[in-house]
Amino acid sequence: MTNKVWFITGASKGFGRILVNKLLKRGDKVAATSRSIESFADIKDSNFLALEVKNLADEQTVKQAVEKTIETFGAINILVNNAGYGLLGAFEEISDAEMRTEFDVNVFGTFNTIRNILPFMRKQKSGQIINISSIAGFVGYENWTAYNASKFAVVGFSDSLKHELKPLNIRVLCVMPGPFNTDFLNNNSLKVSDQRISDYKTNAVHSAWDEMNHKQEGDPDKAMDALIKLVDENNINIDQAFFGKWAYQGAKEQIKNIENQMNEISSLVEHLEYN
């Protein structure tokens, strides 16, 4: 599937930037968003459209970016919702404002791009939406409550959306990576709650993740190669994909744990209907 038009959010670094470079190299057209258009200053390619979107939660700004892409390239075939950041902290430590900002970027930004691109995909009777969630959208982790909640929201949303869009020939793929060697654990991508409550040991958890920074086993180049291959192969049976050994093993353990619990309480809860 070459010579397609991609719209990618959060493309200034990490997965997004790697994906942009790979797609341009193979001749696809790419519109990419960043909070600062200067982050794309080094890209000199007529197939690239740089879009400055400082706040994906601002629907009007997102709408303008989508319209500019359609005006420039005539279509959007594939949307990749990649923008997001981590928020570390136990739930009691996280303020309402911190939680809402996390959801604005990770969840409502995703909603806004999809809402504004769907009319064009419906008109062209085709398209693919790729939502980058996380293994943290399938498995809960200590002191990642807000991030877990936002990524679970993306997974649940994607799982429902796929049913709505399938009759319209628009596919939805939710990708759930584990730790990859990107800048995700850097201070500008990973925030820590302002409040500290000693009982929750957030400082120790933060130190452990900080120690992992740029030592993650996942290769982001291979991850984006896999993503492109999934798109090209267009396997209609795949709508969720766990990326990397950490994610794959974590998902298997979570599924096994759920099955064990279902078996343990089946006699209590399986038959709760009226006789």
**Cβ neighbours around 225 below 10 Å, total:** 14
Phi and psi at residue 120, to the nearest 5°: -75, -40
What is the per-residue pLDDT across 174-219, written as a single tens digit (0 to 9) for each? 999 999 999 898 887 899 999 999 999 999 999 999 898 889 999 9
At residue 82, the 3 state secondary structure works out as coil
Q: Which two tokens stand for residue 210?
A: 């900080």
pLDDT tens, position by position, 35-50: 999 999 999 999 999 9
DSSP states along 19-37: HHHHHHHTT-EEEEEES-G
Q: What is the pLDDT of residue 189?
A: 83
Provide DSSP, 105-116: IIIIHHHHHHHH
Digit-coded pLDDT (tens) for 247-270: 999 999 999 999 999 999 999 999
Look up residue 159 and give its two tokens. 């799982």
Q: Which residues contact 207 (CB under 8 A, 6 or more apart)?
A: none
Radius of gyration for the alpha carbons in the chain, expressed in angstroms and rounded: 19
pLDDT in the model for residue 2: 57
Catalytic residues: 12, 133, 147, 151
Q: Tell whether the torsion through CA atoms of 151, 154, 160 and 166 is positive or negative.
A: negative
What pLDDT, in 10s, does the model give residues 71-128? 999 999 999 999 999 999 999 999 999 999 999 999 999 999 999 999 999 999 999 9
State what percent of residues in the chain have pLDDT above 90. 92
Strand order in the sheet with 48-52: 48-52, 29-34, 5-8, 78-81, 127-132, 170-177, 240-243
**Residue ranges per domain, the chain?**
5-249
**pLDDT surpasses 80 at 136:** yes
CATH of 5-249, one of 3.50.50.60, 1.10.10.920, 3.30.360.10, 3.40.50.720: 3.40.50.720
Prediction pTM value: 0.95
Q: Is the dihedral of CA 121, 169, 105, 10 positive or negative?
A: negative
